[in-house]
């Protein structure tokens, strides 16, 4: 049976690419502030006032417990000055990171690596729309570097306003079924936005058909073979509609000239290979193949900004917890690792991570607006991989998951409350995989109990 | 592939697999296997000829470009149409209901020819129908309510040769009053969930048609619980 439906993940051959760019970097001690010439331009009066007011309301909202204050300040600043983002990035070295999965992790990695050059302003908390960017930038007005995680839908606006030096395109797949069709629309808008950028180097995943199409026509592209890509949404070519054919790691369109470009950087087993053919061990603390992919994308981008490869890799090895993802919580003798998976591509990757260890797993599914209300995608996730393991179905839609697990012949029980589900597991290590709102709520409750 | 194995063709999962349509094939396969009936899924990928020898065909939903590509392929390789003349059982979901008809007209007002398997025409509706659906099976086709999740812009009008699958209680379906279509052994629906995991009676009806015998009862508590939950959520 199992011949159907699941994406084939191409494996990467060790092969040195060519990159005709000078590779000199200038390392500086961590957190140092670069010279006067590098500091951002002075803010226009209106932006400065808008930012001050924004910061005030941000603090106020934190005090009143209205949330982390991650966005509200930026929202007010943008209302008062719609040009705030352009002014706040003016004079800084900006990198923008976008894609469906891995944005938050890659952004954090790139920010860590770029820290070798000077202070970096970044939006860590996943507040990845313009108001989140304005909030992050106005909190660090003197940081000469900015690394911004950006929602795919906002990329054109944010890239247009911030004139990035580097744009990182990770992957594009469907996030929610209620928004199907948007993958192609997003590819089109990213392509147009990228083609309009001047003096920007695109760092793009050549194992992703949609990303390749979006980046292909840019003046300067650095292609990274990540070995990860979700093929289900790219069976037909984003440019001409004809089928895409895969042969091992290579792919090409049968109707037009879109094909996998020759990669400059390679991801190989726990290591990367630079354009010069140098292999560097990754030794990450974050698990899984997709985090290796994130790390190689971040390193290629950091290198473009001027960070030496060894220094970049050394720095991103330190990343162990990304906004609560991979956080471990202790409860009554159970050590539960929290993993976030938002969509079929993400779940498929996460299931390969949990497969590495044989721990019991709690799977938490909600279907609120932010998750997408249509749960049909549960059938695109290869839950069959969990056969033989102790599994609990949890979350507001635990029953939908239980039916899926039944047909996947995975024995399980149902405990809708995820913390109670952890308590119901045997003592020891437990993997908890949750989708968006389930993860958010669980993380907040876990933080409360800490 | 032995004579006695029921073959379930999963048609173009690379183009029409957007809404977890793989799930409908899995449910048919497992519900037969668990009762001792041999069954297997035969994926038919884009670019491959469509076999006319399978017992059941499952066709799913996809986005617009994929759907247009799929209907072109299915018209060029008419194995499914030949299978229908040999009494094969067919389930078409979402895009399925549109491409099985005489024609479908997109939001861009371009009309595409369908496969002519169902007496129906489809066109783009004004607004997207999204949400839980409850419907009563038409002509006592099976027991209990039909439950599912709809997410489509298409509206479908049935001609005299096609019967509705169900009468809508909550949701939109084809047109706000009826849902899906039945013509011979072809069943179409707009409902996801996917539809068969949520509606085991419909799955067993298709199995009965394919095997010629009413399958033994199969009680799955999680499925009963899910049906109850979704009915409460819809009403
Ligand atoms: Zn093409």
- Minimal Cα distance from A399: which residue of B? B226
**Interatomic CA distance for residues A171 and A419, integer angstroms:** 32
Q: Read off the pLDDT of residues A194-225 as tens digits, 9 standing for 90 and up.
A: 999 999 999 999 999 999 999 999 999 999 99
Residue A414: both structure tokens together? 């149902």
Q: How remote is the CA of residue B62 from the centroid of ligand 1, in Å?
A: 18
Q: Mean pLDDT over residues A74-87, rounded?
A: 78
User: Mutate which of B1, B16, B21, B22 to test chain A, going by most A C-beta atoms within 10 A?
Assistant: B22
Q: Read off the pLDDT of residues A423-435 as tens digits, 9 standing for 90 and up.
A: 999 999 999 999 9
What's chain B's length in residues? 235
Which CATH number applies to B6-234: 3.40.1160.10, 3.40.50.170, 3.40.1390.10, 3.40.50.880? 3.40.50.880
Q: Pick from B4, B14, B74, B87: which is nearest to B40 by CA?
A: B4
- Predicted local distance difference test score (pLDDT) of residue A232: 67
Q: How confident is the model at residue A312 (pLDDT cuts 50, 70, 90)?
A: very high
By the 8 A CB rule, do A126 and A157 touch? no
Grouping H, G, I as helix, E, B as strand and the rest as coil, residue B157 is strand
Q: Are strands B120-137 and B103-105 parallel, antiparallel or unpaired?
A: parallel
Q: Mean pLDDT over residues B4-31, rounded?
A: 91
- Predicted local distance difference test score (pLDDT) of residue A125: 67
Q: How confident is the model at residue B52 (pLDDT cuts 50, 70, 90)?
A: very high
Q: What is the average pLDDT value for chain A, to the nearest integer?
A: 83
- Predicted local distance difference test score (pLDDT) of residue A301: 98
What's the gap in Å between the CA of B39 and the closest CA on chain A? 10
Q: How confident is the model at residue B224 (pLDDT cuts 50, 70, 90)?
A: very high
- Cis (ω within 30 of 0) for the bond into B194? yes
Q: How remote is the CA of residue A187 from the centroid of ligand 1, in Å?
A: 14
pLDDT at A3 over 50: no
Please tell me if residue A373 touches chain B, with a CB cutoff of 8 Å: yes
pLDDT at A22 over 50: no
Q: Mean pLDDT over residues B164-178, rounded?
A: 96
Please tell me if residue A174 touches chain B, with a CB cutoff of 8 Å: yes
Which helix H or strand E contains A266, and what residues bound it? strand A265-268
Q: How remote is the CA of residue A213 from the centroid of ligand 1, in Å?
A: 9
Q: Known binder of ligand: residue B128?
A: yes
Of A33-37, B119-123, B185-189, B230-234, give the lowest mean pLDDT range.
A33-37
Share of chain B above pLDDT 70, in %: 99
- Predicted local distance difference test score (pLDDT) of residue A23: 32
**Interatomic CA distance for residues A289 and B29, integer angstroms:** 32
- Predicted local distance difference test score (pLDDT) of residue A177: 59
What's the gap in Å between the CA of B95 and the closest CA on chain A? 13
- Predicted local distance difference test score (pLDDT) of residue B153: 86
Q: Residue B220 carries which DSSP code?
A: -
Q: Mean pLDDT over residues B51-78, rounded?
A: 90
Q: How confident is the model at residue A354 (pLDDT cuts 50, 70, 90)?
A: confident
By the 8 A CB rule, do B183 and B156 touch? no
| B73 belongs to the catalytic site | no
- Predicted local distance difference test score (pLDDT) of residue A53: 65
A357, with CB counted inside 10 A (0-12, 13-18, 19+), is: exposed
| B54 belongs to the catalytic site | no
Top-confidence residue, B204 or B1: B204
Grouping H, G, I as helix, E, B as strand and the rest as coil, residue A336 is strand
pLDDT at B231 over 80: yes
pTM of the model: 0.80
Top-confidence residue, A124 or A172: A172
Chain B neighbours among A 400-419 (CB < 8 Å)?
400, 402-407, 409, 414
Q: Read off the pLDDT of residues A219-274 as tens digits, 9 standing for 90 and up.
A: 999 999 998 766 666 677 889 888 888 888 899 999 999 999 999 999 998 999 99
Residue-wise burial string across A206-241, b where 16 or more C-beta atoms lie within 10 A, e elsewhere: bbbbbbbbbbbebeebbbbbbbbbbbbbbbbbbbeb
pLDDT at A278 over 70: yes
Q: Read off the pLDDT of residues B105-131 as tens digits, 9 standing for 90 and up.
A: 887 888 999 999 999 999 988 888 889
By the 8 A CB rule, do B142 and B163 touch? no
Q: How remote is the CA of residue A100 from the centroid of ligand 1, in Å?
A: 22
pLDDT at A321 over 90: no
Please tell me if residue B35 touches chain A, with a CB cutoff of 8 Å: no
Q: Pick from B136, B115, B217: which is nearest to B180 by CA?
A: B136
Q: Which residue has 């008062």 as its token pair?
A: A80
Q: A395 to chain B: which residues are within 8 Å by CB?
A: none
pLDDT at A2 over 60: no
Top-confidence residue, A396 or A55: A396
Q: Read off the pLDDT of residues A152-195 as tens digits, 9 standing for 90 and up.
A: 989 999 999 999 999 999 999 877 655 555 688 889 999 999 99
- Predicted local distance difference test score (pLDDT) of residue A42: 65
């Amino acid at each position: 049976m199992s011949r159907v439906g699941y994406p084939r993940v191409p494996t990467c051959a060790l092969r040195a690419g060519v990159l005709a760019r000078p590779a000199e970097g200038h390392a500086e001690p961590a957190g140092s502030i670069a010279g006067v010439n590098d500091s951002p331009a002075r803010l226009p009066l209106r932006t400065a006032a808008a930012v001050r007011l924004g910061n005030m309301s941000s603090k106020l909202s934190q005090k009143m417990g209205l949330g982390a204050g991650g966005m509200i300040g930026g929202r007010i600043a943008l209302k008062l000055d719609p040009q705030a983002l352009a002014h706040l990035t003016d004079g800084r070295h900006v990198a923008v990171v976008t894609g469906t999965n891995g944005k938050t992790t890659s952004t954090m990695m790139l920010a860590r690596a770029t820290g070798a050059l000077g202070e970096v302003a970044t939006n860590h908390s996943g507040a990845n729309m313009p108001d989140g960017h304005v909030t992050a930038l106005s909190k660090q007005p003197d940081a000469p570097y900015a690394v911004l995680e950006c929602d795919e839908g906002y990329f054109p606006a944010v890239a247009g306003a911030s004139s990035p030096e580097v744009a990182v395109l990770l992957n594009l797949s469907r996030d929610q079924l209620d928004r199907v069709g948007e993958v192609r629309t997003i590819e089109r808008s990213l392509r147009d936005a990228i083609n309009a950028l001047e003096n920007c180097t695109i760092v793009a995943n050549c194992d992703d058909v949609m990303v390749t199409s979006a980046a292909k026509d840019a003046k300067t592209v650095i292609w990274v073979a990540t070995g990860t890509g979700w093929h289900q949404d790219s069976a037909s070519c984003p440019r001409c509609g004809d089928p895409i054919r895969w042969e091992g790691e290579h792919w090409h369109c049968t109707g037009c000239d879109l094909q996998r470009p020759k990669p400059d950087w390679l991801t190989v087993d726990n290591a990367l290979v630079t354009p010069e053919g140098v292999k560097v061990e990754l030794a990450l603390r974050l698990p899984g193949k997709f985090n290796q992919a994130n790390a190689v994308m971040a390193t290629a981008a950091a290198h473009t900004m001027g960070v030496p490869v060894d220094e970049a890799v050394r720095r991103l090895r330190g990343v162990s917890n990304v906004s609560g993802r991979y956080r471990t919580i202790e409860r009554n003798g159970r050590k539960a690792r929290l993993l976030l998976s938002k969509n079929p591509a993400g779940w498929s990757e996460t299931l390969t991570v949990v497969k590495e260890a044989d721990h019991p797993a709690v799977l938490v599914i909600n279907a609120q607006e932010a998750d997408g209300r249509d749960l049909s995608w549960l059938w695109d996730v290869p839950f069959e991989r969990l056969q033989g393991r102790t599994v609990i179905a949890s979350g507001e839609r635990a029953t939908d998951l239980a039916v899926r697990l039944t047909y996947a012949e995975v024995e399980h029980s149902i405990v809708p409350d995820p913390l109670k589900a952890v308590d119901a597991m045997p003592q020891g290590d437990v993997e908890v995989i949750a989708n968006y709102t389930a993860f958010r709520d669980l993380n907040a409750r876990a933080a409360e109990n800490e | 592939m032995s004579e006695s194995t029921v073959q379930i063709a999963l048609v173009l999962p690379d183009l029409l697999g957007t809404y977890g349509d793989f799930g409908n094939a899995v449910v048919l396969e497992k519900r037969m296997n668990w009762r001792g009936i041999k069954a297997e899924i035969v994926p038919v990928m884009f670019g491959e000829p469509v076999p006319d020898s399978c017992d059941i065909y499952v066709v799913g939903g996809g986005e617009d470009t994929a759907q247009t590509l799929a209907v072109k392929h299915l018209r060029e390789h008419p194995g499914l149409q030949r299978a229908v003349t040999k009494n094969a059982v067919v389930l078409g979901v979402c895009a399925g209901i549109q491409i099985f008809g005489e024609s479908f007209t997109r939001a861009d007002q371009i009309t595409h020819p369908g496969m002519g398997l169902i007496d129906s025409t489809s066109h783009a509706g004004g607004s997207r129908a999204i949400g839980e659906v409850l419907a009563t099976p038409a002509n006592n086709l099976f027991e209990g309510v039909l439950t599912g999740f709809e997410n489509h812009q298409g509206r479908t009008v049935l001609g005299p040769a096609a019967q509705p699958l169900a009468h809508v209680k909550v949701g939109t379906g084809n047109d706000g009053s009826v849902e899906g279509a039945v013509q011979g052994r072809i069943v179409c629906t707009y409902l996801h969930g996917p539809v068969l995991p949520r509606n085991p009676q419909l799955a067993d009806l298709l199995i009965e048609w394919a095997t010629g015998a009413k399958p033994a009862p199969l009680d799955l508590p999680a499925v009963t619980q899910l049906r109850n939950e979704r009915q409460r959520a819809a009403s």
